[in-house]
Structure 1
Amino acid sequence: MSDEKTSVRKSWFWDFIDNIQGDKVILIIITMLILFSIVTIFSSTSLLANADTSRLDIFKGQMVTVAVGVALIAVCYLIPKIWIFRFLSQFGFLISALFLILLHTPLGVEVNGAVRAIQLGPIQVHAYEVTKVAMVLYLAWAIHAYKNDSFKVANLLSSRYRSMKFLAKPGCKRFIYIFAPILLVCVGILFGSFSSTVFIGGIMFVTILIGGIKFKDILAPAVLCVAVIAVCIGIYWVSGGQVFERFGTAINRLAIGEKHQNIKDLKPGTVEFQDALDDIIQPASAKIAIHEGGIIGKGPGNSTQKYTVPLMFSDYMFSFIIEEYGILGGILVITLYVSLLARASLIVRSCDNEFAKTAVAGLAVLISGQALMHMFINADLGPLTGQTLPMISHGKSSFFAFSIAFGVLLSISKMAKAKIMKEEAESEPLVEGLGIQDDNVQNTLAELDDFESGRG
């Protein structure tokens, strides 16, 4: 009797899995990343615990975060039509601009030395995490509208007012709807983080290249973008570092390699030695964690570097994973993100409209690109950028934003799969269309052989 119940339970589970129409490889990747997140957050957040908050409280909070994230994935997955995503995505730039503007109001909250979050009642929202996903989806909409000439406002104004005829030109639409939003968002982010500006700006440019915008059309806006950054640097120097102060942070991070050398010449116990040590403690401890992890790691809960690296649970999560789970654990995580990129390329081939193709490719590049950058920084192959490990590192805003991204990927893969199945079903009655019934196929082939051999 118990065996029958177990069989029924297993049957129910696999029936549920079979009924999921989205890409099952991406579903497996999401599940693995979430499991990694639950385990590593519980083990790596020792320094977050204090007199008011225990590690168990942090773990419970992470479970709530995961539950909300899974709900967001489910909501996106259940959206039945691609036009709904496309309609909502056109507001991505406005949402990004609103969040970046709110950073300069009393709602702005300082995080790690810069105003990057917005306090909305009990909820703290990291503006840059929202901007990443929102802008990729917006650019997917803009590229779709550009290729189909469906910018309604520009078309309406150019047709009604002679003075606005220039809005009908493709180059003008391209600048207003694609390049100008990218430039404005980059400047908005530049107030709080130079590294995030470079990363998010790079992702946006890659997205429009994937979407089919020609490289020659990007050159002029790219030069303009460099010029704007140069002006911002000038403002930074003239203001004595009071405006765009994150340039100074970027310069200090680029100079960490030099500080590694300088600390050897300083006397231990001096103020200069301690300041230099504080600057290099995180990247140095991250490398120690990777070294001590070895092939199989120290085992869950046995990390020692989590007590010396304040941001081990976010900015240095990959180092923590290797310390506890070894190179093998690190390879598994790398495989998950690379597999996502490979799987997304297959989904893109199945999509039949520009929005779906650009959204899937852009989101996959965003997730995998941020993961790879996080890994490079953890291996001390570049300056600290503050980019977390998607769906694994601690942080509600990041987890929710990437949950939406994964939900969109699953939903579009479901729609693409349904379309392919429909086309296959419509193309099945090929033999019947030739006037040959299934039961008579063998007889017909035999008659054809007789005819060719001269016996018919």
Structure 2
Amino acid sequence: MKKGIFDILQGDRGIWIIVFILGIFSLLAVYSSTGTLAYKRFEGNTQYFLLRHLVFMLLSLGVMYFVHLIRYTTILRLSKLFFYLAVPLLLYTMVGGISLNQASRWITVPLLNLSFQTSDFAKLALMMYLATLIASRQQVIDDFRKGFQRLVIPVFIVCALILPADFSTAGLLFLSAVILMYIGRVKVKYIFGLVGIGVIAISFFVLIAMVSDTESRVGTWKSRVESFVDKDEGGNFQSNQSKIAIASGGLVGKGLGHSVQRNILPNPFSDFIFAIIIEETGLVGALIIIFLYLVLFYRTAAIVKRSNRVGPALLVAGMMILMVIQAFVHMGVSVGLLPVTGQTLPFVSMGGTSMLISSIQMGIILSVSRSLQKEKKQAPQPEPEEELRDIHENDAVYEEN
């Protein structure tokens, strides 16, 4: 008996379909936004970046497929290892990473000679580890020392290591962690206290950086915020060009491959790819992209709701929060609702690290969805004793953390 495609690609079918549709948008937008650049750099070869992006996309889909086959209990066990790997990687990046615009964000992978953005891996590792910690401390979640204190330490460590080089990523990660804590039933007064401490810590860091003689990213952050606020003074060049692209797109756009702003707008293939999509496909294309991410949010929220265990529910929620917030921040920057942040559009923007990490996040979500479907088929109405035993077996995973 022949197997259908959804017998091979298990888990939520809607999520698989959304990923493939976003992939099609990505290929079209990347080809359009990089054609001129590739022509100049590679002697007329306009397809260089397209083919490179296609290879990364296929590799990422392969990773996503592999991850979705791993049982979520194994992923929960790996979260601690990932976190302990992310911290030294961030430290190494600060000292020996590749610098760009006064910020060390990348390290070079030996032998492969590929750049890897460690903050993307750290985001994934922290949210996985935080989901596991919250799940393991549900019995003492209201206790400040045994519950809350253990949760905030890894959040502060990772965000503090990312902050000097990438304020927006650190801020979005901190916000995602706060939301996950709220979903995990952490007391609201503890969360407000955490937010207050975070604001004070950031203000203290900025103050030190401004009065010191060393070069830092604070000047860049300041200029971006000032440009966003003082629109009468001309605003930010990137933001202005993005608005021009969006305004010229109209209802149905100029047509695929007919963008003008791709030759003017910095990083049109990553930080501002949403603006290029709107210029070429118009308001219709923008609404389709927004709709896809909203459906993705709905489908993942449904997985959280169906899960009868805390660990996998929080794991899916963590991955969903990271991805959806980043997507809407990217779109908000493109249309001028937010200051320039440099955040990519998940599954659409060109970038090997971003695409790979997004695929792992989605693979984790599909892993939980696959397990729920499997459990429903094998035991639609489990006996109380059996269900209790399964819960105790999963609790053993968290005790290690």
2:87 aligns to what? 97
The CA deviation string for residues 280-324 of structure 1, in whole angstroms up to 9 with x for no partner, is 321111111111111111111100000001211111111110111
**Contact conserved, 1:350 with 1:420, CA < 8 A, in 2?**
no
1:83 is aligned to 2:83: no
Distance 2:228 2:176 in 1: 27
Pick closer, same or farther for the CA change 1:294–1:213 going to 2, 3 Å.
Answer: same
After TM superposition, the runs of 4+ consecutive aligned structure 1 residues lying more than 6 A away are none
The aligned amino acid for 2:284 is: L
The CA deviation string for residues 312-368 of structure 1, in whole angstroms up to 9 with x for no partner, is 111111111011111111111101110011111111111122121111112112111
Q: Select which of 22, 44, 55 maps to 2:11.
A: 22
**Contact conserved, 2:35 with 2:47, CA < 8 A, in 1?**
no
Aligned length: 379
TM value normalised by structure 2: 0.88
Structure 1 segment 266-415 matched on structure 2, within 5 A: 280-415=236-371
Structure 1 segment 179-198 matched on structure 2, within 5 A: 179-198=152-171
Pick closer, same or farther for the CA change 1:31–1:148 going to 2, 3 Å.
Answer: farther
Distance 1:203 1:48 in 2: 35
Distance 1:201 1:47 in 2: 38
Partner SS for 2:190: helix
Q: Select which of 52, 69, 93 maps to 1:61.
A: 52
CA deviation after TM superposition for structure 1 residue 37, in Å: 1.2
The CA deviation string for residues 375-394 of structure 1, in whole angstroms up to 9 with x for no partner, is 11111111101111101001
Q: Select which of 28, 34, 47 maps to 1:45.
A: 34
Q: Select which of 178, 185, 195 maps to 1:212.
A: 185
Q: Which runs of 5+ in 1 are unaligned?
A: 1-10, 151-168, 264-278, 428-456
2:196 aligns to what? 223
Which segment is superposed worse, 251-260 or 313-322? Answer: 251-260
Which segment is superposed worse, 84-93 or 392-401? Answer: 84-93
Pick closer, same or farther for the CA change 1:47–1:386 going to 2, 3 Å.
Answer: farther
- Identify the structure with bigger relative contact order (alpha carbons < 8 Å, sequence gap 6+): 2
2:391 aligns to what? none
Distance 1:147 1:173 in 2: 10
Partner SS for 1:424: coil
Which segment is superposed worse, 132-141 or 249-258? Answer: 249-258
Distance 2:22 2:32 in 1: 15
1:133 is aligned to 2:124: yes
Distance 1:426 1:200 in 2: 38
CA deviation after TM superposition for structure 1 residue 96, in Å: 2.5
The aligned amino acid for 2:263 is: Y
Distance 2:125 2:302 in 1: 23
The aligned amino acid for 1:354 is: V
**Contact conserved, 1:348 with 1:361, CA < 8 A, in 2?**
yes
2:219 aligns to what? 248
Distance 2:293 2:239 in 1: 23
Partner SS for 2:83: helix
Partner SS for 2:137: helix
The CA deviation string for residues 94-142 of structure 1, in whole angstroms up to 9 with x for no partner, is 2331221011222x01235521111122021112211222211111111
Q: Percent identity?
A: 30
Distance 2:84 2:37 in 1: 34
The CA deviation string for residues 258-298 of structure 1, in whole angstroms up to 9 with x for no partner, is 654235xxxxxxxxxxxxxxx73211111111111111111
The aligned amino acid for 1:347 is: I
Partner SS for 2:95: coil
TM value normalised by structure 1: 0.78
The CA deviation string for residues 30-79 of structure 1, in whole angstroms up to 9 with x for no partner, is 11111111111111113542434733121111111011101111111111
**Contact conserved, 2:243 with 2:336, CA < 8 A, in 1?**
yes
Pick closer, same or farther for the CA change 1:92–1:213 going to 2, 3 Å.
Answer: farther
**Contact conserved, 1:146 with 1:174, CA < 8 A, in 2?**
yes
The aligned amino acid for 1:100 is: L
Partner SS for 2:116: strand
**Contact conserved, 1:118 with 1:127, CA < 8 A, in 2?**
yes
Distance 1:87 1:310 in 2: 41
Pick closer, same or farther for the CA change 1:174–1:249 going to 2, 3 Å.
Answer: farther
Distance 1:418 1:426 in 2: 13
1:118 aligns to what? 107
Distance 1:112 1:56 in 2: 28
The aligned amino acid for 2:254 is: K
Partner SS for 1:118: strand
The aligned amino acid for 2:268 is: M
RMSD between aligned alpha carbons?
2.2
Which segment is superposed worse, 172-181 or 383-392? Answer: 172-181
**Contact conserved, 1:315 with 1:386, CA < 8 A, in 2?**
yes
- Rg: which structure is higher? 1
Partner SS for 1:117: strand
1:160 aligns to what? none
The aligned amino acid for 2:103 is: A
**Contact conserved, 2:72 with 2:364, CA < 8 A, in 1?**
no
**Contact conserved, 2:64 with 2:360, CA < 8 A, in 1?**
yes
Pick closer, same or farther for the CA change 1:20–1:65 going to 2, 3 Å.
Answer: closer
